[in-house]
């Protein structure tokens, strides 16, 4: 038994249980030990999500694509919203692609703990893996939808700029933000199920407060700095700049990145604060 057990001598494992015990070092060691669980949780989310659907993984594409069509018709064609000199469908899809990811990652993250209520009372594992896997599994949809972007651009005789490589760090930034907001909402949702009802509404308002389907240039210059405190504002502008090869507002992106870290910190703080009550309350 001893030689099969991993990690060497048994004495290495010492678990101390006391009220309010929070040691970051222990929590991180735990996270590392359970990293395979993160992989299998994410894989489960992915393989279960489109089971018993006719269109299957096509849904990952249809969501941003159909939203883009709707906005192109109403905002692009009818309301003639400016689109920074790019065909409106390309412009809108470039905003909707990261937004759809953000929105679904946050929504899934917010519901994740309550959806796993049964597990919380039956087994120990780092609880953060649940919202984390929700964020990660949504990332796969994002990657699939990103491929369609190329098709849409080719249709309009355009081609992604070399800066598109920036999509990777930008996706990471979006994921961190979604994780922070998702963790915050998930922890609150355990205690106040209102979150479940408020989240879709919150995401809708947030979308219109963000230059997803309209250009950030519509926002008066004097409000810009404040505007970028909404991290998604700077992030989505940067997505557009990267793919279209237009200049990136680095200052705005910096403010948005800093705000992202604040959101993430708040999410982690709230989650750790409520972590120990999850099993008692959920």
Partner 1 sequence: MASSVIRVDRLSKRYRVGGRAQAQRRLGEALGDLVRAPLRKLRGSPADETFWALKDVSFEVSRGEVLGIVGKNGAGKSTLLKILSRITEPTEGRAELRGRVASLLEVGTGFHGELSGRENVYLNGTFLGMRKREIDRKFDAIVAFSEVDRFIDTPVKRYSSGMYVRLAFAVAAHLEPEILLVDEVLAVGDAEFQRKCLGKMNMAAVQRLCSSAILLREGKVPFSGDSVSVVAEYLRGDGLGGPRFRAEKETGRAQLLSVDLRDTNGVEIARPLSTTPFVLDLAYILPKRAPGTRVGIGVLSVDGIVIFTSNTRDVAAEVPSEAGRYRARVTVPDNVLLASDYHLAVCIYNDGEILDLHEPAISFTVESGPSPLYVGQFRRKGFVHVPCRWGVERDSGANQDSEPVTVRQSQ
Which residues here bind partner 1, judged by CB under 8 A?
A: 1, 4-7, 10-11, 13-21, 33-34, 36-37, 39-41, 43-44, 47-48, 51, 119-125, 191-194, 276-277, 279-282
Q: Is 20 left (phi over 0), alpha (psi -120 to 50) or beta?
A: left
Side-chain-side CA neighbours of residue 169 (13 Å): 7
Whole-number Cα distances in Å, 226 to 25, 221, 236: 36, 10, 15
Q: How far is the CB of 26 from partner 1 (least distance, A)?
A: 11
Q: How far is the CB of 114 from partner 1 (least distance, A)?
A: 10
Q: How far is the CB of 139 from partner 1 (least distance, A)?
A: 19
**Closer Cβ to partner 1, 14 or 78, answer by number:** 14
Q: Which of 239, 201, 49 is nearest to 138 (CA)?
A: 49
| Distant-in-sequence, close-in-space partners of 177: CB < 8 Å, separation ≥ 6 | 102, 231, 232, 235, 260, 263, 264
d(CA 95, CA 80): 17
d(CA 261, CA 56): 34
**To 10 degrees, the CA torsion angle through 269, 274, 275, 276?**
130
Q: How far is the CB of 223 from partner 1 (least distance, A)?
A: 31
**Closer Cβ to partner 1, 196 or 230, answer by number:** 196
**Closer Cβ to partner 1, 127 or 240, answer by number:** 127
Q: How far is the CB of 25 from partner 1 (least distance, A)?
A: 16
Say if CB 223 and CB 201 are below 8 A apart: no
**Closer Cβ to partner 1, 53 or 77, answer by number:** 53
SS3 for 28? helix
**Closer Cβ to partner 1, 19 or 220, answer by number:** 19
Q: How far is the CB of 280 from partner 1 (least distance, A)?
A: 6
**Closer Cβ to partner 1, 37 or 161, answer by number:** 37
**Closer Cβ to partner 1, 45 or 249, answer by number:** 45
**Closer Cβ to partner 1, 3 or 222, answer by number:** 3
Q: How far is the CB of 44 from partner 1 (least distance, A)?
A: 6
* Cβ neighbours, 10 Å, residue 84: 17
Say if CB 113 and CB 282 are below 8 A apart: yes
Q: How far is the CB of 50 from partner 1 (least distance, A)?
A: 10
- Look at the block and give the residue holding tokens 């948005």: 256
Q: Which two tokens stand for residue 230?
A: 């909404």
């Amino acid at each position: 038994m001893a030689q099969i057990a991993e990690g060497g001598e048994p004495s290495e494992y010492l678990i101390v249980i006391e009220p309010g015990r929070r040691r970051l070092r222990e929590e991180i060691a735990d996270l590392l030990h359970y990293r395979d669980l993160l992989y299998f949780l994410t894989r489960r989310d992915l393989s279960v999500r489109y089971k018993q659907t006719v269109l299957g993984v096509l849904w990952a594409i249809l969501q941003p694509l159909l939203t883009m069509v709707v906005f192109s018709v109403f905002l692009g064609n009818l309301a003639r919203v400016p689109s920074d000199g790019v065909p409106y469908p390309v412009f809108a899809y470039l905003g909707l692609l990261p937004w759809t990811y953000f929105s679904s990652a946050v929504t899934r993250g917010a519901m994740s703990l309550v959806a796993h209520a049964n597990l919380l009372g039956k087994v120990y594992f780092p609880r953060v893996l649940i919202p984390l896997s929700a964020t990660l599994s949504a990332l796969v949809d994002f990657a699939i939808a990103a491929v369609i972007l190329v098709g849409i651009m080719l249709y309009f005789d355009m081609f992604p700029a070399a800066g598109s490589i920036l999509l990777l760090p930008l996706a990471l930034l979006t994921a961190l933000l979604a994780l922070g907001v998702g963790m915050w909402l998930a922890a609150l949702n355990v205690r106040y199920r209102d979150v479940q009802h408020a989240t879709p509404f919150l995401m809708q308002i947030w979308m219109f407060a963000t230059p997803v389907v309209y250009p950030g240039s519509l926002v008066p210059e004097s409000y810009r700095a404040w505007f970028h405190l909404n991290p998604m504002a700077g992030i989505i502008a940067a997505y557009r700049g990267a793919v279209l090869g237009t200049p990136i507002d680095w200052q705005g992106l910096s403010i948005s990145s800093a705000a992202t870290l604040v959101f993430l910190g708040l999410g982690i703080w709230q989650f750790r604060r409520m972590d120990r009550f999850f099993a008692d309350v959920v």
